[in-house]
Amino acid sequence: MSQKKPETPFATKLNEGDQQRVDDFTSSGINRTERKPFRPWVLIMWLTLTIILLGATARIIGLFYLPY
């Protein structure tokens, strides 16, 4: 009985030469872009400002267009 390699979740169906070309291309840097670091406080600030503005807009619409 021959020993079979266990199938791993990251097993590839490419042969060695094709896999090497894929690895060379993905590590070449052609698809990379420089990005600013993620700043969660800026995201929280924008979300808070948006929620406040939407709430104020809803109150103004309610004040002028809804009957008492």
pLDDT tens digits, one per residue of 26-38: 888 776 788 889 9
pLDDT in the model for residue 26 = 81
Asked whether residue 2 carries a pLDDT value surpassing 60, the answer given is no
Residue 25: pLDDT band (50, 70, 90) is confident
Asked if 12 contacts 19 with a C-beta cutoff of 8 angstroms, the reply is yes
DSSP per-residue codes, 35-57: -PPP-HHHHHHHHHHHHHHHHHH
Asked whether residue 18 carries a pLDDT value surpassing 70, the answer given is yes
62 vs 66: CA distance, rounded Å: 5
pLDDT in the model for residue 7 = 57
Asked whether residue 40 carries a pLDDT value surpassing 70, the answer given is yes
